[in-house]
Chains A and B, each alone.
Chain A
Amino acid sequence: MELLKMLLTIREVESYISSHYRENEMKTPMHMSMGNEHIAVGILHTLRKRAIVFNSYRSHAPFLARTNDVAGFFLEMYGRKWGPNSGRAGSMHIAEASLGHFLSSGIVAAQIPIAVGAAFAEKYNKTNRIAVVFFGDGATNEGVFWESINLACLYRVPIIFVCEDNDLAVHTNKALRNGYASLLAIIENYRMTTFPGKSTDVDDVVAVTEQAIKSVEAGVPAFIHWKCYRYLEHVGVESDLGEGYRSAEEYCEWVMKDSLCVRNDKLVNAGIPLSEIRKLRDSVAERVKIAAAVAQAALPDNDVESGVYCNGKYF
């Protein structure tokens, strides 16, 4: 039920965003996680407080899955002073270190070496924490991606790389980007354990994560490569199926196995009463509604220059 709760939370948050975005109050570009929430949820549920999380601008699922801070999330989307980033970050850069989420990067792949350095620090300080870095297949074309996996394998740092592969970099399919057939065939040559997958069943993600953790604990970084599908446009809350770079058949294929439906069905088949599931869904919806309302009523931050340097003053 916990896994369903987090899947529901993220989906409900994004539904709220979809419905209310046109009010123009959340003035931040939204790169929606709809369609691949199960990856972040499965991994971060398994790791719990051991995970320190790094991701791209497609931040909603990993941020919520790690922090569960729906209230803080909306404060940040509405650009309020008491958001975790005081409104300076918005959707693309949201982070909350006190709750284990360290960085969302607006630059593709830039978060990857930072996660490697963080993993190094956790090993150096013997904290037992594990860095988890989410990125898409677009990031695997960046040079710094290859530099980073090399460093991680050379220095043997406790890190789990998570490639959420939806075949696209914005609108460009990998057929137009890659000079090779299989990413994993190359990755397998590095001193890492690779874990391919494509299931939308969050239990499968959990199982793989448990294996990945064992690998990391043995001093070998893990690379999870999960095929997935992005329901909406690259940025924004609409569907862009009409644009033609993806097929309606593909869309239907993935929606039919939506991770929430899969989870829902699994729990019902396991004997959980529908009424309990409905109760959970209602409470999640209520929580989201309240968090958004509170955020809209909150104060904005008026100090542009504070925080440019740490300690508030120069030097």
Chain B
Amino acid sequence: MENTFREITYAEAINEALVQEMAINPSVFVYGIGVPDHKKVFGTTNDLDLLYPGRCFDAPLSEAALTGFGIGAAICGLVPVQIHIRMDFMLLALNQLINMAATHHYITKQPVPFVIRGIVGRGWGQGCHHSKSLHGLFSGIPGLKVGMPASPRDAKGMLIKAMRDPNPTILIEHRWLYWARGKVPTGLYQTPPTSSFVRCGKDVTVVATSWMVVEAMRAAEVMSERGIEVEIVDLRWSNPLTEDIMGNIIFSVKKTQRLIIADNDWLRYGISAEIFTSLVESGVLPKTLNRIGHRPSPCPTARHLENEYYPSAKEIIRAIEFALDLEPMSTDDVFDYSHENKFKGPF
């Protein structure tokens, strides 16, 4: 069946991946706390309980046991898709994820085709228990796979890829991407294990993860008006950090000589450090490096503090100006995404 494209939201794309894959693979089932309730995990589990009775079900507040449950079901041939409505809750299951899931195939040769979807909260005072991304933490663990879809197209394709992957995969979905519209193929397809060019340009490379891809796009629009062309690489997958993923980054930095890494996480001991180090180890050293991430604190609740905590397009603009030795512009008029001003696309 030929794929055609049409515009749908990130949330609709995730739902579509589940509806379509569950139709052809009877081993896929979806579960978690509140998963089939009337809110349907922001619409991503719409219709699943009706279309596939017994394959989309609710669960008690037992993240650790539910994760072990998923491992057990996976090693017996099913494809469990566990959903955490906040990445922060995944921390309750760290023993199962890191000690058990990540090691299982290595020591027993049994595949663990287990998909875990976690949502990154933000805005309206989500605060320190409802805002984490944790991709740095999970990316450091051999045996786990980690993906962060930023576009609706990747939200669908990466979930399908994860459901067909015999390894435990954590997919990290940012809440503020859920309303974004973008072109998504109608049929089934898998996102390859590579990073992707969101925008091409000759002047500076921005490698971005998750929500920061949107902020990078905003910054690129602003800089384009000043005649600066920004190249944006969406990392997409962070574990394992393969040559295919780094290849695009190496190519880009060789061209622009200037690197900005905008990570949707705390700065230290994370993805941006790993990307830069891997780059240098491959023999590529950019003339400038800027790393952008969250402030080194737990996420505060008050709005003005949130605005300080989270970097935005403005920080990326400053970094570009630093990299290219440009006069700093006034960013007062630069549009800021927020709880009230949602990013609706297009991607």
Interface positions of A (Cβ within 8 A of B): 52, 54, 85-86, 88-89, 93, 95, 97, 102-103, 105-107, 110, 112-122, 124-125, 131, 143-144, 147-148, 150-151, 154, 307-311, 314-315
The residues of B that contact A144 with a CB separation of less than 8 Å are 62, 64-65, 68, 95
Contact yes or no, A103 B78, CB < 8 A: no
- The interface stretch among B17-25, B104-112, B225-233, B329-337 is B104-112
Q: Which of B54, B69, B110 contacts A102 (CB 8 A)?
A: B110
The residues of A that contact B188 with a CB separation of less than 8 Å are none
Query: B238 at the A/B interface (Cβ < 8 Å)?
Result: no
Q: Give A73 Cβ to nearest chain B Cβ, in Å.
A: 15
The residues of B that contact A88 with a CB separation of less than 8 Å are 106-107
Contact yes or no, A95 B107, CB < 8 A: yes
Contact yes or no, A315 B242, CB < 8 A: yes
Query: B80 at the A/B interface (Cβ < 8 Å)?
Result: yes
Contact yes or no, A150 B193, CB < 8 A: no
Q: Give A252 Cβ to nearest chain B Cβ, in Å.
A: 39
Total A-B contacts with CB atoms under 8 angstroms apart:
143
The residues of B that contact A52 with a CB separation of less than 8 Å are 76
1/0 contact trace for B140-171 toward A, CB 8 Å? 00110100000000000000000001110000
Contact yes or no, A315 B107, CB < 8 A: no
Q: Give B224 Cβ to nearest chain A Cβ, in Å.
A: 34
Knowing A151-B60, A315-B193 are in contact, say whether A117-B107 is a contact too (CB < 8 A): no
Q: List 4 additional A-B contacts (Cβ < 8 Å) besides A103-B75, A125-B78, A151-B60.
A: A85-B107, A95-B108, A144-B65, A147-B64
The residues of B that contact A117 with a CB separation of less than 8 Å are 68-74, 76, 80
Interface centre among B64, B65, B80, B165 (most CB of A within 10 A): B65
Contact yes or no, A120 B69, CB < 8 A: yes
Q: Give B161 Cβ to nearest chain A Cβ, in Å.
A: 8
We find that the number of chain B residues with CB closer than 8 angstroms to chain A is 45
Knowing A121-B73, A150-B60 are in contact, say whether A310-B80 is a contact too (CB < 8 A): no
Q: Which of A54, A97, A147, A315 contacts B65 (CB 8 A)?
A: A147
Query: B125 at the A/B interface (Cβ < 8 Å)?
Result: no
Q: Give B235 Cβ to nearest chain A Cβ, in Å.
A: 15
The residues of A that contact B312 with a CB separation of less than 8 Å are none
Contact yes or no, A154 B60, CB < 8 A: yes
Q: How far is the CA of A156 from the CA of B78 in the complex (A)?
A: 17
Contact yes or no, A143 B78, CB < 8 A: no
The residues of B that contact A150 with a CB separation of less than 8 Å are 60, 62, 65
Query: B272 at the A/B interface (Cβ < 8 Å)?
Result: no
Contact yes or no, B73 A110, CB < 8 A: no
Query: B29 at the A/B interface (Cβ < 8 Å)?
Result: yes
Q: Give A221 Cβ to nearest chain B Cβ, in Å.
A: 14
Q: Which of A118, A120, A307 contacts B109 (CB 8 A)?
A: A307
- Among residues 78 to 109 in chain B, which have CB atoms less than 8 Å away from a CB atom of chain A? 78, 80, 95-96, 99-100, 103-109
The residues of A that contact B106 with a CB separation of less than 8 Å are 88, 307-308
Q: Which of B29, B68, B74, B143 contacts A148 (CB 8 A)?
A: B68
Q: Give A133 Cβ to nearest chain B Cβ, in Å.
A: 10
The residues of A that contact B240 with a CB separation of less than 8 Å are 309, 314-315
Q: How far is the CA of A147 from the CA of B60 in the complex (A)?
A: 9
* Nearest B-chain residue to A52, judged by Cβ: B76
Question: Mind listing 17 A-B residue pairs with CB under 8 Å?
Answer: A52-B76, A54-B72, A85-B109, A89-B107, A95-B107, A105-B100, A113-B65, A113-B69, A117-B72, A118-B72, A143-B64, A144-B62, A144-B95, A147-B60, A150-B62, A308-B142, A315-B193
1/0 contact trace for B298-327 toward A, CB 8 Å? 000000000000000000000000000000
Query: B187 at the A/B interface (Cβ < 8 Å)?
Result: no
Q: Give B297 Cβ to nearest chain A Cβ, in Å.
A: 29
Q: Which of B68, B108, B165, B167 contacts A113 (CB 8 A)?
A: B68
* Nearest A-chain residue to B104, judged by Cβ: A103
Contact yes or no, A97 B110, CB < 8 A: yes
Contact yes or no, A309 B107, CB < 8 A: no
Query: B77 at the A/B interface (Cβ < 8 Å)?
Result: yes
Query: B198 at the A/B interface (Cβ < 8 Å)?
Result: no
Query: B66 at the A/B interface (Cβ < 8 Å)?
Result: yes
The residues of A that contact B100 with a CB separation of less than 8 Å are 105, 107, 110, 114
Query: B210 at the A/B interface (Cβ < 8 Å)?
Result: no
